[in-house]
């Protein structure tokens, strides 16, 4: 079942999403979360940090994995997703750093690093909440539109449109890594709940195609229609 919750601002999207984490942690303090990067989840991370500061939420028993990581960026690079997570969430709550896992973007053999990450995901078990954003082209994690998708973590060559879209975080388009490692579709599906956040009018159409259009590998986000428990928090009605 897919629940589509429309909200009127990014802030409300963050507050609504944070409510799912608060309830989940009350029911199960040692929850396992899969987090996402990008600008979309930032209001959620701000809200989780605020809830923690107010003593309303406790991450001491939580474990986390992340959807993806660029190939070739050291963890000290501010564009690496490890750096992003440390800065925007992990350093702001009482999560133990050793309980947080991302693919190893610095590994000399990305294929091997992906296999290791898949083994880690398998060992940690089913995620309680899988957080997702959506790319302009419908990608989730870095599962790009293609003739076929991958079940497990793999090293992907990014599409030109993704490199262009993500270049806004880098000094130039040439600095954007051409490859990334991403959780595969089976791994994204291995969660009790998929929580998809989407904001900004520019993503209104791709989101609606994903949740009401045909299920197709050309829009990887559309596959979430096959998951039994999806909540979409939609702030695409305006740019607030």
Bridge partners, 196 (sequence order): 132, 232
105 binds ligand GLP (CB under 6 A): no
Which of 64, 88, 166, 222 forms a contact with ligand GLP (CB under 6 A)?
A: 166
Catalytic residue among 66, 139, 166, 227: 139
Smallest gap from Cβ 142 to ligand GLP, in A, equals: 5
Partners of residue 129 on adjacent β-strands: 33, 193
In the complex, minimum distance from the CB of residue 60 to ligand GLP, in angstroms, rounded to a whole number? 26
Does 139 qualify as catalytic in the annotation?
yes
Residues written for the chain: 240
Catalytic residue among 69, 104, 144, 190: 144
- The binder of ligand GLP chosen from 31, 37, 88, 219 (CB under 6 A): 37
Rounded CA-CA distance 169/207 in Å is: 23
Among 67, 181, 195, 230, binds ligand GLP (CB under 6 A): 67
| Cβ–Cβ under 8 Å, residues 181 and 155 | yes
- Contact status, residue 21 vs residue 48, Cβ threshold 8 Å: yes
Residues 6 or more apart whose CB falls under 8 angstroms from that of 151 comprise: 184, 185, 186, 187
From 18-26, 114-122, 127-135, 205-213, give the range in contact with ligand GLP by CB under 6 A: 127-135
Q: Which stretch binds ligand GLP (CB under 6 A): 7-15, 82-90, 103-111, 133-141?
A: 133-141
Q: Does 162 bind ligand GLP (CB under 6 A)?
A: yes
91 forms part of the interface with ligand GLP (CB under 6 A): no
Paired tokens of 231: 């909540």
Other Cβ atoms closer than 10 A to 205? 12
Active site residue 26: no
Catalytic residue among 79, 99, 137, 208, which? 137
Interior/surface letters 33-50, b for 16+ CB within 10 angstroms, e for the rest: bbbbbbebbbbbbbbbbe
Return the half-sphere exposure (C-beta side, CA atoms, 13 A cut-off) of residue 184.
17
Nearest to ligand GLP of 103, 133 (CB atom): 133
The Cα 118–Cα 237 span in angstroms is: 36
Based on the shown chain and the rule CB under 6 A, indicate whether residue 7 belongs to the binding site for ligand GLP.
no
The reply on whether position 114 binds ligand GLP by CB under 6 A is no
Token readout for 15 is 């507050």
Stretch that binds ligand GLP, among 30-38, 54-62, 105-113, 210-218 (CB under 6 A): 30-38
Instruction: Give the binding site for ligand GLP (CB under 6 A).
Output: 36-40, 67-68, 133-135, 141-142, 162, 166
The residues assigned a catalytic role are 68, 137, 139, 144
């Amino acid at each position: 079942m897919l629940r589509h919750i429309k909200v009127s601002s990014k802030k409300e999207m963050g507050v609504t999403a944070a409510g799912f984490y608060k309830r989940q942690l009350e029911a199960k303090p040692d929850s396992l979360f899969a987090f996402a990067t990008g600008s979309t989840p930032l209001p959620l991370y701000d809200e989780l940090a605020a809830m923690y500061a107010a003593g309303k939420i406790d991450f001491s028993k939580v474990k986390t994995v992340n959807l993806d990581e660029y190939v070739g960026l050291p963890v000290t690079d501010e564009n690496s997703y490890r750096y992003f997570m440390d800065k925007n969430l992990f350093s702001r709550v009482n999560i133990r750093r050793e309980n947080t896992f991302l693919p190893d973007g610095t590994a000399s053999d990305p294929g091997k690093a992906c296999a290791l990450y898949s083994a880690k995901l398998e060992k940690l078990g089913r995620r309680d909440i899988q957080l997702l954003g959506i790319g302009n082209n419908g990608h989730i994690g870095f599962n790009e539109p293609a003739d076929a998708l991958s079940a497990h973590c793999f090293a992907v060559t990014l599409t030109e449109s993704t490199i262009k879209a993500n270049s806004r975080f880098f000094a130039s388009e040439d600095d954007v890594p051409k490859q990334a490692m991403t959780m595969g579709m089976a791994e994204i599906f291995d969660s009790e709940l998929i929580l998809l956040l989407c904001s900004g009018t520019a993503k209104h159409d791709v989101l609606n195609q994903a949740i009401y259009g045909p299920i197709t590998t050309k829009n990887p986000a559309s596959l979430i229609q096959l998951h039994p428990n999806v909540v979409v928090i939609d702030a695409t009605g305006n740019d607030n």
